[in-house]
């Protein structure tokens, strides 16, 4: 990715219509990996055409998996079986994707060949010991640069199952261990301090791998096979989140968001916004590909501040940048605690949001694990996304209600998770443009 792309988001009128957001990033990554390791051909519908998920597809192709793209959002993956991957002498580039790198670390730990996983500047600063340490206790050998990428994964290491209690709630770490567990002798059990998204568990079951799981706990043994299956990827709740906040704060708005994934480990923002007074309804709730989905309808409603229940944090871990914008324009004070994990996302999201909102005149105090935000009015101004996709989109939402235009520097990474965001946003009433 090269060149810089800045945005300008202007104040705009009511948001209206229907916005179909792209496929879920977490489900798209996992669908590629499990399809690749399965026996037979799997079809993926609703695949996210984002840079993160395309990077994972490219890595798997480099490892010898044939992946066809019959149409946008569709993939046909010719699985090579659990032991059919081929090593690559070239480094495997995960781009910006923490999910890609951490899950692949687990998957590659059990292979017969060596691999090197690399990423972009942001991913190269993200902590990897959280996966390499427990993988090492399963017998894996992975070298890091002082805990950071690149990861050099040594092949040919016999793995054995472990019982691991995660020190932080992380679906990526849990998933890496479960993927390594496919290759391990004996049982791998993962216990979480708070339940996190369970897509790996659900999808392993759908691909026919025996697995026992319940919120906060998953257990499997090595020595089985994955059978190809078709995957229906729901629309990404984390992408819908920007529109949920936008329509909640722009007077007169009434937006529909069809077929959004509503896995309960993802919908914490829905509850948080409702606690703040938002008017969001779920219509036509149904199941698609084993996942709950529904059509969301969000209408403007005056928001008030919230003392965010800490229990909601893991269920909305990617939605804090958007929540911060809602809190900054709500009436009264919001308090967020227990969210220190935000410091190790694509940027330090507590610091990046606090700095940006302050530049727009908001009153916000950053704390070690959260923030205290006094709601009020936002001014126009200039903010830095620090190449963090969710920061860029959140400030695009802030621009809707600021007293003047908001310039957002460095927005090119939005395509990692939400290609086409600008067109969809403008289609429902944003005034979002490239800044000269
Ligand atoms: C993800 C897990 C979360 C989330 C990320 C996607 C996943 O990360 O922030 O965007 O697909 O498993 P952590 O596991 O680090 O919390």
For the segment 207-262, what is each residue's pLDDT rounded down to a tens digit?
Answer: 999 999 999 999 999 999 999 999 999 999 999 999 999 999 999 999 999 999 99
Helices (H), 294-370: 320-329, 349-359
Query: Beta-carbon neighbour count of residue 340 at 10 Å?
Result: 14
The reported pLDDT for the residue numbered 2 is 53
Would 99 be classed as within a structural domain?
Answer: yes
Query: How far apart, in whole angstroms, are the C-alpha atoms of residue 378 and residue 399?
Result: 9
Distance 172 CA to ligand 1 centre (A): 5
**Which atom of ligand 1 sits closest to the CA of residue 197?**
12
Same domain? For 190 and 296 the reply is no
Strand runs labelled E in 234-377: 254-261, 279-288, 291-299, 333-336, 363-367, 370-374
Would 116 be classed as within a structural domain?
Answer: yes
The residue whose C-alpha atom lies closest to atom 13 belonging to ligand 1 is: 170
198 is catalytic: no
SS3 label, residue 307 = strand
In sequence order, what are the beta bridge partners of 185? Answer: 160
Same domain? For 83 and 42 the reply is yes
**How distant is the alpha carbon of residue 317 from its chain centre?**
9
Strand runs labelled E in 19-139: 39-45, 66-68, 74-80, 92-93, 115-118
Rounded mean pLDDT, 75-103: 98
The residue whose C-alpha atom lies closest to atom 11 belonging to ligand 1 is: 26
Pairing mode, strands 66-68 and 74-80: antiparallel
Where among 232, 254, 272 does a domain terminate?
232
Rounded mean pLDDT, 273-280: 98
Give pLDDT tens digits for 349-392.
999 999 999 999 999 999 999 999 999 999 999 999 999 999 99
Where among 198, 217, 232 does a domain terminate?
232
Query: What's the domain count of the chain?
Result: 2
Q: What is the CATH number of the domain that holds 209?
A: 3.65.10.10
Query: How far apart, in whole angstroms, are the C-alpha atoms of residue 293 and residue 211?
Result: 23
Candidate from 99, 134, 319 with most ligand 1 atoms within 8 A of CB, to mutate: 99
Token readout for 194 is 């708070």
Q: Which of 315, 318, 388, 410 is catalytic?
A: 318
The DSSP symbol for 252 reads T
Assess whether pLDDT exceeds 80 at residue 138: yes
Buried b (16+ CB within 10 A) or exposed e, 176-198: bbbbbbbbbeeebbbebebbbbb
Which residues' Cβ are closer than 6 Å to ligand 1? 26, 99, 170-172, 175, 197, 317-318, 341
Would 2 be classed as within a structural domain?
Answer: no
Give pLDDT tens digits for 405-434.
999 999 999 999 999 999 999 999 999 999
Candidate from 56, 172, 178 with most ligand 1 atoms within 8 A of CB, to mutate: 172
Where among 232, 251, 278 does a domain terminate?
232
Same domain? For 245 and 127 the reply is no
């Amino acid at each position: 990715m090269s060149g810089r792309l800045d945005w300008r988001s202007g104040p705009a009128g009511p948001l209206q219509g229907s916005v179909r957001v792209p496929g879920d990033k977490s489900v798209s990554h996992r669908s590629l990996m499990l399809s690749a390791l399965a026996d037979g051909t799997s079809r993926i519908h609703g695949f996210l055409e984002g840079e993160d998920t395309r990077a994972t597809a490219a890595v798997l192709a480099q490892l010898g998996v044939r992946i066809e793209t019959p149409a946008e959002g569709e993939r046909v993956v010719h699985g090579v079986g659990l032991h059919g991957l081929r090593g690559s002498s070239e480094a495997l580039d995960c781009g910006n994707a923490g999910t890609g790198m951490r899950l692949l670390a687990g998957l590659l730990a059990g292979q017969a060949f060596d691999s090197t996983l690399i990423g972009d500047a942001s991913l190269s600063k993200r902590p990897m010991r959280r996966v390499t340490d427990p993988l090492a206790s399963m017998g894996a050998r992975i070298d890091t640069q002082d805990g950071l990428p690149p990861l050099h994964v040594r092949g040919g290491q016999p793995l054995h199952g472990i019982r691991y209690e995660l020190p932080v709630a992380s679906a990526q770490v849990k998933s890496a261990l479960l993927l390594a567990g496919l290759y391990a002798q004996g049982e791998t059990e993962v216990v979480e301090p708070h339940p996190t998204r369970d897509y790996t568990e659900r999808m392993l079951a759908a691909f026919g791998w025996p697995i026992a799981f319940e919120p906060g706990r998953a257990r499997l043994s090595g020595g089985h096979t994955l059978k190809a299956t078709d995957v229906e990827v729901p629309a990404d709740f984390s992408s819908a989140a920007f529109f949920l906040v936008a329509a909640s704060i722009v007077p007169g708005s009434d937006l529909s968001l069809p077929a959004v994934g509503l896995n309960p480990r993802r919908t914490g923002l829905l509850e948080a916004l409702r606690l703040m007074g938002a008017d969001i309804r779920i219509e036509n709730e149904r199941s698609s590909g084993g996942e709950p989905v529904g059509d969301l309808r969000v209408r403007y409603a005056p928001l008030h501040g919230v003392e965010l229940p800490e229990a909601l944090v893991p269920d909305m871990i990617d939605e804090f940048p958007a929540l911060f914008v809602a809190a900054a324009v709500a009436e009264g004070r919001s308090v967020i605690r227990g969210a220190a994990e935000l410091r190790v996302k694509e940027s330090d999201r507590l610091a990046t949001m606090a700095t940006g909102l302050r530049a727009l005149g908001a009153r916000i105090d950053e704390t070690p694990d959260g923030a205290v935000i006094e709601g009020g009015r936002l001014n126009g101004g200039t903010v830095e996304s620090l190449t963090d996709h969710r920061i860029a989109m959140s400030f695009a939402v802030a621009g809707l209600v600021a007293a003047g235009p908001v310039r957002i520097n460095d927005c090119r990474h939005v395509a990692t998770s939400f290609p086409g965001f600008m067109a969809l946003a403008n289609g429902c009433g944003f005034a979002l443009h490239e800044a000269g």
